[in-house]
Amino acid sequence: MSPIRIGIIGLSPGAWAANAHLPYLQSSGSKFKIVAVCNSSVESAAKSAKDLGLAEGVRTYGNVQDIADDKDVDLVVCTTRVDRHYTSILPSLKTGKDVFVEWPLGRNLEEAKELLNVAKQNNVKLTAVGLQGRFEATVETLKSVLSEGRIGKVLSTTITSQGVIGGPTESETQTYLTDRTHGASVLTIPTLHLLDTVLEVLGEFSSVQSLLSNQRPVVKIVQADGSVVKDNVEKTSPDHVMIQGTLKSGAVLSATVRGGAPFKGTPGLEWRIYGEKGEIRITGAHACIEIVGTTSFELHSFDTDEVENIELEKGTFAEMAPITRNVARIYEAIAAGDKSVLCDFKDAVERHEFIENVYDQNPSF
């Protein structure tokens, strides 16, 4: 079978695509071949292709229309920041190309809906969105443990976590996180990634209540070494997110995610699933399980009063770190045409509708 030819929009050394996508795409087992790169300029794309060791002959572009018009590109992969997703992939959708774009799909529900409609109008066969937490080993293991009835009927789940972003400082390379209208915040990125992962295991909401707060309306912009480059920068995005709701199964959910780092020396994530016969406790570094995985998985049996450490399912690409493994599993699902777990544009619009509902419940945002 010939490899699927991809064109990447937004590829540079040290950035997300290079760290999360390339290890699989450049591996011997990859079912894909990078044939084009599009950055802000042809020169930038050419430099990235060279620095990252891409094969000779990779075409380099500085305009997203060029990659959309390239007949040798089967799949366009967009890894730009969220406020550029819409303009980056719209031309490719209009030419009927398959598209894999990072989450969020767009800055807001309106952009997400339009991208879905354009994909439908142009008979795009495959759309994929990077909610890769659905493929995480923790999810695989939870599904298995719950299906075995180890804790009986699930009654509730409680999540407390930190989102890394949204603290007292923001990086000078991520100043867009301070502006709610750009579509990237503690709500839309770490919280939604985490909730999508949770709901993949426990099922969807039947009702939701929420509270958003911006407790740090002014932040500092810092360089990588921590030195301040700009002080007293206004922030309009939420840094505290509280979600409570009932799932379609009847279980209740409570999730709290705040910005910033966790308490020193403690896990940045604690996720409990409480059942009739036992309780599961999962810990991790922070809310982004899809990137860092989890650090412990324990099951307390009420019958024996013993706590058991559960080993995570190995699954495919177990030798890779979570940041790469879960993206690799998305690519494998795309190659196989397996949409059973994959998030497509329709699914993504539903997640954007959830975000819009949360904002509607918090009119100050």
pLDDT digits (tens, 9 = 90+) for 111-137: 999 999 999 999 999 999 999 999 999
Distance in angstroms (rounded) separating the CA atoms of residues 52 and 47: 8
Whether 214 and 236 map to the same domain: the answer is yes
For 274-298, the pLDDT digits (tens) are 999 999 999 999 999 999 999 999 9
106-120, 220-234, 268-282, range with the lowest pLDDT: 220-234
For 325-341, the pLDDT digits (tens) are 999 999 999 999 999 99
Domain presence at residue 168: yes
Domain presence at residue 78: yes
227, 176 Cβ separation under 8 angstroms: no
For 173-211, the pLDDT digits (tens) are 999 999 999 999 999 999 999 999 999 999 999 999 999
**Domain span holding position 294:** 133-312+349-361
The DSSP bridge pattern shows strands 75-78 and 59-61 to be unpaired
Mean pLDDT (the chain) is 97
Whether 96 and 86 map to the same domain: the answer is yes
Whether 173 and 41 map to the same domain: the answer is no
Domain presence at residue 322: no
Whether 116 and 144 map to the same domain: the answer is no
Domain presence at residue 181: yes
Residue type, 216: R
Whether 142 and 285 map to the same domain: the answer is yes
Residue 1 has pLDDT above 90, yes or no: no
Domain presence at residue 156: yes
Whether 202 and 187 map to the same domain: the answer is yes
Classify 317 as helix, strand or coil.
coil
- Give me the residues paired with residue 76 across strands: 7, 99
Q: Looking up tokens 């007949």, which residue turns up?
A: 71
Q: Looking up tokens 């490899």, which residue turns up?
A: 3
Domain presence at residue 137: yes
Rounded to 10 degrees, what is the CA torsion of 69, 326, 112, 256? -160
Whether 180 and 215 map to the same domain: the answer is yes
Domain presence at residue 240: yes
Whether 231 and 304 map to the same domain: the answer is yes
Whether 45 and 189 map to the same domain: the answer is no
Residue 129 in tokens:
């969105």
The DSSP bridge pattern shows strands 59-61 and 32-38 to be parallel
- For residue 211, give the CATH number of its domain: 3.30.360.10
Cut 0.95: pTM above it: yes
Of 238, 235, 185, 229, the C-alpha closest to 211 is 238
Whether 126 and 143 map to the same domain: the answer is no
Number of domains in the chain: 2
pLDDT at 242: 98
Residue 158 in tokens:
């409680």
Whether 124 and 185 map to the same domain: the answer is no
Residue 21 has pLDDT above 90, yes or no: yes
Tell me the residue ranges of DSSP E strands in the chain.
Answer: 4-9, 32-38, 59-61, 75-78, 98-102, 127-130, 154-162, 169-171, 205-213, 218-222, 228-234, 240-247, 252-258, 269-275, 278-284, 296-301, 307-309
Whether 90 and 163 map to the same domain: the answer is no
Domain presence at residue 109: yes
- For residue 86, give the CATH number of its domain: 3.40.50.720
29, 92 Cβ separation under 8 angstroms: no
pLDDT at 27: 97
